[in-house]
Amino acid sequence: MCSKCFYLIICVSIIINVKSQLSSDDYGDYDAQQQQIQTEPLVFFRRPQSEQVAIGSNAIFYCSSSSSPIIWFKNDVPIGAGSKHIITSQYLQILNVDENDEATYACSIRNAVEMKTASANLTILFAPRFTPLPDTYRVGLKNLSIELYCRVRGNPKPTITWHKSHITLRSSHRMRLLDDGQILRINQLRSDDAGVYTCFAENSLRRISASTDVRVEDPIPPLFSRRMSNLTTYDGASVELECTATGDPQPKIEWFRDSFPIHYSVQYILKEDGSLLLPRVATNQSGYYTCKASNYAGAEVHSFWVTVINDNQITDELIDRLVQQASIEVNRAVAETIRHLQDRRRPRTPGDLMSLMKFPKPLQLTLAKTEDIFERALDLVHRYVDNITFANEYSTNERRPSDFRPDHYLTARQLERLALVSGCVVHQLKTHCNEKCMAYRTADGTCNNLRHPFWGASLTALTRWQHAQYENGFNTPRGWNETKLYNGYVLPSAREVSARLIATKTITPDPAFSHMLMQWGQFQDHDMSLTVQATSNTRFSDSLRCISSCSFEPPCYPIRVPDDDHLRQERGSCLEFVRSAAICLSGETSFLHLPYRREQINSLTSFFDASNVYGSTVQDAWDLRERSSGKGFLRVHSTPQYPKGLLPFSTDTPVDCQRDRQASQIGCFLAGDHRVNEQVALIAMHTLWVRQHNRLAKQLSSMNPNWSDEQVYQETRKIIEAQLQIITYKHWLPYIIGDEGMNMLESYKGYSRNVNPTISNVFATAAFRFGHGLINPIFYRLNASLEPIPEGNLLLRDAFFSPWRVKEQGGIDPLLRGMFGVPAKIKLPQQILNVELTERLFHVTRAISLDLAAANIQRSRDHGLQSYRAWRKFCNLTPNDINDFEDLRNDISDQETRRTLRDVYKHVDNIDVWVGGILEDNLPGAKVGPLFRCLITKQFKALRDGDRYWHEKSGIFTPQQMSSLQKTSLAKVLCENGDRIEQIPRNVFLNAMYPRDYVPCSHIEDVDLEPWRGCCNQNMAGSNAVCNVPAILSYDPFPNYEPSRFATNARQKREIVEQNAQEKIEDETITKDDQLELEKLRQQVDEVLKKVRIINLFATFDKRLTTGTHCYDQNTRKLHKNGTKWHVHKCLVCQCKDATSLCEIIC
């Protein structure tokens, strides 16, 4: 009995052992095979054979035996059947082989006594391929080595050969083939080594090749891109000595103090960019520092003094040196910006297009640049004070650098000195206003108000209806310090607000109004305001482009992109944005020693004076006139196809209107407002009114052959101004502000010299941007039957900066029909701005476009506009006090919008004014909500009542002329000045059904010019003939100097007449002591000017945007021909060179 148990145990043990070696798929046959396993020997009927298989084919290994189930292994790892492997009792098949299948495969059989294995190799054959692809372009330096790579994989192993100009290369003393030919090293490069090198890789399956274009250049010796000036700092401060050099090869940087090499330690830290950091500088580290940059092509050294002091002493010499440094940095940044923008060899970015469109013109540039120098000098003072105070009394961080106030650290005299040396000398605004000069406006808007000659003038500050709200109280925008809390919360990114509250992919056509309603609003906006952009789109500190940095450093103020925004992957962490330029002596201090908040410049006249047709400066007006005909015409570009003329081309504009040079070589058009090329419909509107001027001028000249060119021009201009005012106030504005708004506007009661017509900051920056919500994403181009022209309609992104489409694709008629023949976009709670404006503004190939809504929000913060809630209080809107988002339900009725507002802004007082205003429900019969209606009505009332030349003012026109002007209609202007417009709706602002609501153009009454026959001779007679010379902003660093009297007797008499007739203007009083102190200071500044030669103190014209060859001098009020010289002061002589006034100190 026991022996039976013993054998049973042995049998069970054998069975378990065999089962443990089998896969689960083999268990089913196990019981039936047990006797054979015990009795039969292990025999392979067929063994696998090694295979070579092309990639992508199938491989099969045969293996069979009657003795045992077969188990397959890959590199000793068991494999089973699946999608990749088919296993039977006869073979293993591997499907669609790839490189990973290359291995040793084995089949195994076994019994209780032994195991046998048969194996074979699988080799995968594949054609050569590059890993990675060789460079297509390489640059090598003479006398150095270069390595060209040809990394290849393949089986069989490819053979690699190199060729140059069809000649096979072999290893030599200069050319070495390494790593089986995968590396070609060329030593001691020579000029003749340049050329195309081709690498061939070949095996039995295929031959491939790749080429590398090698260029050999001369090495570039070191050149310092940043240099240090002499530095004075305080004991204990952290100081970084900058020394950045370019060169090829990259230069090695070495530092010396007093000619001895500096050994780097905790006291001297060498940074990667070559700068030397002194973490806590001590007085014994004062000395003469030298930075040496060297490579094998040469070396360059730069030396400067570092003075470490132990008290906070800001001297006049320090101020002068800081101003000089500021001047160098600002001028360098401006030059770099102009160079970058004028470089047409590289693709444009949307930020470039925005910068080009808003870049300061010559006089604007001078105005803005002096302020930039002034602010940069104060920033350098800030940095100096930061260094000398934070080490001791402010070590507890009681005062952050962003809280810097210059009047806390500089005396009034020091501030005056800094302002004068910077060139920021309160503008010395000069006018020659004569009360008898009633006939015509000045080109720049000066002398409209005789008591306040610069109200409404171009190149003056936007006015404020509420004081600015800057983060530091005087010049930094809200959100500049990103950790600062407003009402307990950080302000949201402008991009986040745009994406969550403003952008929409869907639009709804307006059932009542045509797209002309939007386009007329933009055209009129360009008659009132243009905020000058900063003089540079690179940082003043180091000339790094704003698009390359996301730091808030003047003038860069980038828009943060949220982490979950899709633009984050495409563009990075920010969108480019540059601050608006400030007018001189704002944002830091006034000349009377009082803190003065930063104010932005309006480069246009404020009035409805058709400045978008005629320009806002004397130079612009002069450049736009056709001076050869003698008939008062404006310049046009006439062709047989367009006999009425297109706009003239601008030869000197830097704006790139040839975005697609394969499409056209046509450049930019020239108009009174240089944003004319922004989009094609705007070009059409400008063209329309230039033609209207020339049409009327031709009639007036024919009716009055005795009129001079000047009188024809001026009288035509008066009529055009009146027509624009009538269309805007009587035909367009009622649709914007509604009947209740028109009641608020009230009827015209006459001119008031106490009303300031200057455009307000909140109107230009927020309220009048309501029209962005009316813009269609499509610009329609329609034929006479209101069907699309063969070239089709335009996406908004394709309409930007494309004047060639006007000249080559049908002229202005299709665009004009597309404005009055197509509905506008209606603004709804969830449909504010189309994504064409928030995602593709100024779209260009391979560049991320701008976001108009985010830019509007960022601009309102840049300008220091108070919150939406504060402006509601200003307008006395109900409820009078908003404490919660639900308090807005009467004006923002959409609950989802209010919920998103709460989620984004957290606190109701954080809402930006443009956002709150644009989200308000439209009032009945209006296109705006209560806030924007209030602000627009207030501004339009001031523009009308404060304009001494308003068309309804008594004496501007005769009753007969006024009666004729009332017949003005935009429909008739379109009919008369289109190329072939024959039918039109009577009211082009309303939707009209074609052909039911269209009438022949002959049925629409036109303005009758008969009341102008033989009139108006008094406007050019007597003193009026000479006294209507426009006044210009003038920078006079020597205001007490009387120039030599070399003028004619007529000019002297004119000046006497002007002086006797000039109205007294109330000036701010300066005490005699202040005058004496100021005179002494000016004498000191004279000496400084002689030393530092800051030529940018004086008003010069930049050729970049100036047309013609003459120069206009603001002091002598004369045009000077090219090449002439004149004295502005005994120590200042100017010369006209190619339309640029170049002035130099000579004593």
Report which residue type is found at 519: Q
With beta carbons less than 8 A apart as the criterion, state whether 600 and 761 touch.
Answer: yes
Question: pLDDT, tens digit, for every residue of 367-413?
Answer: 778 888 888 888 888 777 765 433 233 333 333 444 566 656 676 66
The CATH code for residues 2-126 is 2.60.40.10
> What's the CA angle centered on 965, arms 959 and 967, to 5 degrees?
120
Q: What is the pLDDT of residues 773-810, one digit of tens each?
A: 998 888 999 999 999 999 999 988 888 888 899 999 99
Tens digits of per-residue pLDDT, 552-575?
988 899 999 998 888 887 767 888
What mean pLDDT is predicted for residues 953-961?
94
Q: What is the DSSP string of 844-888?
A: BTTBPPB-HHHHHHHHHHHTTPPPHHHHHHHTTPSSSS--SGGGG
Range from 19-28, 731-740, 849-858 that averages highest in pLDDT: 731-740
Look at residues 22, 25, 105, 26 and name the one whose alpha carbon lies nearest to residue 59: 105
* SS3 assignment, position 1077: helix
How far apart (Å, rounded) are the C-alpha atoms in residues 402 and 1059?
48
Lowest mean pLDDT among 415-424, 450-459, 826-835: 415-424
Instruction: Answer whether the bond into residue 930 is a cis peptide, omega within 30°.
Output: no
Q: Which two tokens stand for residue 936?
A: 């627009």
At a CB cut-off of 8 Å and minimum separation 6, what does 234 contact?
308, 309, 310, 311, 312, 387, 388, 389, 391
Domain chopping of the chain, boundaries: 2-126, 131-217, 314-425, 460-534+579-674+682-847+865-963, 1031-1145
Average pLDDT over residues 759-784: 93
Please choose, from the candidates 1132, 1103, 1094, the residue with its C-alpha nearest in 3D space to the C-alpha of residue 1115. Answer: 1132
What is 131-217's CATH number? 2.60.40.10
pTM of the model: 0.65
Ranked by mean pLDDT, the top range of 227-241, 302-316, 434-448, 907-921 is: 907-921
Distance CA 52, CA 62 (A): 15
Is the pLDDT reported for residue 248 higher than 70?
yes
Give dist(CA 812, CA 791) in Å, integer.
14
Q: Among residues of the chain, what percentage have pLDDT more than 70? A: 77
Fold held by 460-534+579-674+682-847+865-963: Myeloperoxidase, subunit C (1.10.640)
pLDDT above 90 for 147: yes
Would you call 1029 exposed, middle or buried from its count of C-beta atoms within 10 A (0-12, 13-18, 19+)? middle
**CATH fold match for the domains 2-126 and 460-534+579-674+682-847+865-963:** no
Return the active site residues: 526
What digits encode the pLDDT tens for the residues 274-290?
A: 889 998 888 888 889 99
Which region among 55-69, 361-375, 401-415, 492-506 has the lowest average model confidence (pLDDT)? 401-415
Whether the pLDDT of residue 1067 is over 60: the answer is no
The CA-to-CA distance between both ends of the chain, in Å, stands at: 135
Please report, rounded to a whole number, the percentage of residues in the chain having pLDDT higher than 90.
Answer: 46
pLDDT of residue 351 exceeding 60: no
pLDDT band of 837, cuts 50, 70, 90: confident
Per-residue confidence (pLDDT) for residue 979, from 0 to 100:
96
Residue 737 has pLDDT above 60, yes or no: yes
Rounded mean pLDDT, 839-862:
70
Please report, for residues 11, 13, 15, 394, the alpha-carbon distance to residue 2 in angstroms, rounded to integers and kept in the order given. Answer: 15, 17, 20, 99
Mean pLDDT of the chain: 80
d(CA 533, CA 356): 10
Rounded Cα distance, 699 and 720, in Å: 14
**Distance in angstroms (rounded) separating the CA atoms of residues 775 and 773:** 6
Alpha-carbon gap, residue 583 to 786, rounded angstroms:
48
pLDDT in tens, 600-635: 989 999 999 999 999 998 888 999 999 888 889 999
Return the number of other C-beta atoms located less than 10 Å from residue 1124's C-beta. 14
Place 68 in a pLDDT band, splitting at 50, 70 and 90: confident
Q: Among 472-481, 827-836, 899-908, 1023-1032, which stretch is predicted with the lowest mean pLDDT?
A: 1023-1032
What's 425's DSSP letter?
S
**pLDDT of 987:** 97
CB atoms within 10 A of CB 36: 12
